[in-house]
Amino acid sequence: MNGSEAAVSRSEGGIQVSASSAMTENYSKAEAVTVVNEITCNFQIDNPHQSGTPGFQHRWNVHATMKCSGYNNGNVPWMYSSVDIARNNLWSLYWNPTHAYDKNNVTGTAAQECRFNQPTDQWQGRALGHVQMPPGFEPQSLDFDVESDTFAQGFACGPPPAL
């Protein structure tokens, strides 16, 4: 995370990181009117979990969402998110990048096959994010790097689909 100080919060559903960028505009020197325009971006990763998608219960996945709000409805020139998932500290290294232009949100997902009857397997998600702010905002960009907590698979892995 670079730029402004990040606020980190945890919940049962995952981890969220927030940061802001601001632009100060002096509209009238005679009246000393100053307006601070701010964009706040929240980047959240959920906890790794068994896929609920029919036919894919033999996979674990993790989702990440970045959403900006504030000035211009939070729309920014460019934002990027990339998500990965690890089983037993072995990252899949398939980062699944997602880009959005002139938008206020971007989402990403990573998934990896789980091993049936391996209840000791441990899962963790990681997401990287970048936001390019509109001209005049400081800091000009925000970078995020957030990891989920680690979760034991238990017996939450369905058998692979029949061939």
Q: In whole numbers, what is the pLDDT of the chain averaged over residues?
A: 81
Domains of the chain, earliest start first: 7-152 (2.60.40)
With vertex at residue 15, the alpha carbon angle to CA 10 and CA 18, rounded to the nearest 5 degrees, is 95
User: What integer is the mean pLDDT of 138-153?
Assistant: 90
pLDDT for residue 128 = 93
- 77-87 pLDDT, tens per residue? 999 999 999 99
- Closest among 146, 148, 149 to 17, alpha carbons compared: 146
pLDDT for residue 13 = 60
CA gap 103, 110 in Å, rounded: 22
- 90-129 pLDDT, tens per residue? 998 777 789 999 999 999 999 888 887 788 899 999 999 9
Confidence (pTM): 0.78
CA gap 7, 96 in Å, rounded: 25
Residues 6+ apart with CB under 8 A from 16: 8, 9, 10, 42, 43, 44
147, 10 Cβ separation under 8 angstroms: no
Q: Residue 20, Cα to own-chain centre: how many angstroms? A: 15
User: What integer is the mean pLDDT of 44-52?
Assistant: 88
